Amino acid sequence: MKEELKKKYNSLENKEEFILNHPKEEYLKFLKSEFGYTINKTNDLEYTVELKEKVSSQEKNIRAKHKEKLQMLKNKRCNTYGRTLKSMKKDVGEDMLNSYLSAQNSMKGYPIPDPQEILKNKAKYQKQFEEYGQMIKTMQKENPDVSKTLNNTPYHKYVEQILKKINSE
């Protein structure tokens, strides 16, 4: 686009206000459909471009948030989360469930696979958890202080329990 604009600019006789008078369709092809823009002239050689999100996409985002919130409230009323925890408790045991919940609370934004999923797909997760164990072992050799703090984290305790469970079966 830069090359095209340079050619058009050089071919014009009246080079003043070129950017402001240039057809807006050519700029729009580089933006997503839910965005618009305005070009403002700050001084002779500088222009500022403001991107504006169109109202329809904002409404879609708001609608999606409301839909997600309604789904969460529905699950809360139906106690879906409680039922999954109960079934998980039967399958993997209370101590494993408690370590999973504490690991999940300590790693707030990071998704942790639940024990039921891990036991169903052992091959998929075994390599991942073994690599984590190897990483901890190498850290113990290189820097014992850091490894001591890592060994006390709820996530590490959860991984140790998962590895014991996978290796025992």
- Coil, helix or strand for 32? coil
- pTM, to two decimals: 0.55
User: How many domains is the chain partitioned into structurally?
Assistant: 2
The answer to whether 164 touches 130, Cβ cutoff 8 Å, is no
Structure tokens that stand for 14 in this block: 């009246």
Pair (109, 43) in one structural domain:
no
Q: Which domain holds residue 155?
A: 94-168
Task: Profile the chain (169 residues) by mean pLDDT over runs of 10 residues.
Answer: 70 62 62 68 73 74 92 87 89 91 87 88 85 84 81 87 82
Pair (108, 46) in one structural domain:
no
Angle formed at CA 97 by CA 96 and CA 100, multiple of 5 degrees = 85
Kindly list the distances between the CA atom of residue 75 and the CA atoms of 6, 11, 78, 160, in Å, as whole numbers in the listed order.
57, 64, 5, 31
Pair (49, 113) in one structural domain:
no
